[in-house]
């Protein structure tokens, strides 16, 4: 994984004298974002479109990465060890101040505001500017860290209770007809290196092979998990003469990756006589040629 660094400019102004003290530091970026995306490939634990469930939406909540996943700031009273895997800090070092990617309109005096005019995308990164009034974020500052917009809104919690630090995951409906959600459950192969997903489905003596471009373990800073990122690249329909799924209302069959350069389809339907016919199809991944029987 490529390592990123940032430049911190901390300006402390004496409201009585107007004197400004400036602190300059170079800071590291931890594995937090990579871990969030890595433990939840494709965002399957959350909704991406908005019409299939009522829980957390990746887009606008976590993506784009800037300014949502790293759009908040935490200021700590004690020092922090600079380590890429130092993601969760002890409760003995609670933030004295924090800010999100918006303007604080609450009564939380620990929370500051992002300067939406001076915060912007640069040619080689992003610039975030946060401001705290004299009544906000008072205390000793020994360390500064980036966080998500949710972390910057409430950190570890506050008695004002105007923001939640928890994002709830809820059930997802798969009733999207012949859409991508169902194709996830028809998936037989995911090519992680090339970000490709292959889904096979059967209908009316045909086998349909769909190839998607899917961001499994990487995503750009400005990408979202929607149709502009998740795209259907190719659909191929194979006309079968022998192979078919048994059943009418509920088809009985399965497609599997043989791990030998071929996909295999099997269909059978048990009966009380103890005999059954198994139908099969063998599809070559390289050119989609097939045999059946």
How far is CA 202 from its chain centroid?
Answer: 30
More confident residue, 31 or 60: 31
- Nearest-CA neighbor of 146 among 10, 282, 2, 28? 28
Residues found in the chain? 293
User: Phi, psi at residue 116, to the nearest 5°?
Assistant: -70, -15
Instruction: Report pTM.
Output: 0.54
- Nearest-CA neighbor of 43 among 68, 19, 21? 68
pLDDT band at 61 (very low <50, low <70, confident <90, very high): confident
Model pLDDT for residues 98-131, shown as the tens digit of each residue: 999 999 998 889 999 999 999 999 988 899 999 9
Model pLDDT for residues 251-285, shown as the tens digit of each residue: 788 999 999 999 999 998 767 777 778 899 999 99
What is the model's pLDDT at position 250?
A: 75
Cα(161)–Cα(12) distance, rounded to whole angstroms?
28
Count CA atoms closer than 13 A to 234's CA, side-chain side. 9
Q: Is the pLDDT of residue 162 over 80?
A: no
Catalogue the E-assigned strands of the chain.
5-13, 20-28, 72-76, 97-99, 113-114, 120-122, 125-127, 130-131, 143-147, 187-191, 196-203, 206-213, 231-239, 254-257, 262-267, 279-284, 290-292
Asked whether 58 and 46 are in contact (CB, 8 A), the reply is yes
Model pLDDT for residues 12-26, shown as the tens digit of each residue: 988 889 899 999 998
What is the model's pLDDT at position 182?
A: 77
Asked whether 60 and 150 are in contact (CB, 8 A), the reply is no
Asked whether 53 and 115 are in contact (CB, 8 A), the reply is no
What is the model's pLDDT at position 227?
A: 45
What is the model's pLDDT at position 160?
A: 64
What are the b/e assignments for 80-112, b being 16+ CB within 10 Å? Answer: eeeeeeeeebeeeebbbbbbbbeebeeebbbbb
Share of the chain above pLDDT 90, in %: 38
Asked whether 46 and 57 are in contact (CB, 8 A), the reply is yes
Q: Is the pLDDT of residue 52 over 80?
A: no
Q: Where are the domains of the chain?
A: 5-30+64-154, 180-292
Model pLDDT for residues 207-236, shown as the tens digit of each residue: 999 998 887 777 767 666 654 456 789 999
């Amino acid at each position: 994984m490529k390592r990123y660094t940032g430049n911190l400019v901390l300006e402390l102004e004496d409201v009585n004298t107007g004197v400004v003290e400036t602190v300059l530091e170079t800071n590291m970026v931890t594995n937090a974002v990579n871990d969030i995306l890595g433990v939840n490939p494709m965002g399957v634990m959350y909704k991406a479109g908005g019409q299939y469930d009522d829980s957390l939406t990746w887009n606008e909540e976590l993506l784009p990465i800037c300014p949502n996943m790293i759009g908040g700031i935490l200021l700590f009273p004690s020092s922090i060890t600079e380590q890429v895997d130092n993601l969760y800090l002890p409760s003995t070092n609670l933030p004295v101040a924090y800010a999100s990617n918006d303007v604080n309109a609450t009564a939380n005096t620990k929370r500051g505001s992002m300067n939406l005019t001076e915060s912007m995308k640069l040619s080689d990164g992003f610039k975030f500017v946060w401001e705290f009034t004299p009544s906000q974020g008072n205390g000793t500052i020994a360390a500064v860290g980036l966080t998500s917009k949710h972390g910057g809104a409430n950190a570890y919690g506050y008695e004002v209770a105007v923001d939640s630090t928890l994002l709830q995951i809820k059930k997802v409906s798969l009733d999207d007809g012949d859409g991508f959600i169902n194709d996830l459950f028809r998936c037989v192969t995911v090519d992680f290196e090339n970000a490709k997903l292959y889904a096979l489905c059967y209908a009316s003596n045909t086998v349909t092979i769909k190839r998607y471009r899917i961001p499994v373990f990487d995503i750009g800073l400005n990408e979202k998990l929607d149709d502009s990122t998740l795209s259907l690249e190719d659909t191929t329909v194979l006309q079968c003469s022998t192979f078919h799924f048994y059943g009418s209302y509920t088809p009985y069959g399965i497609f599997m990756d043989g791990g030998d350069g071929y996909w295999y389809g099997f269909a059978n339907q048990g009966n009380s006589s103890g005999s059954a016919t198994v139908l099969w199809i063998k599809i070559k991944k390289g050119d989609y040629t097939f045999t059946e029987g």
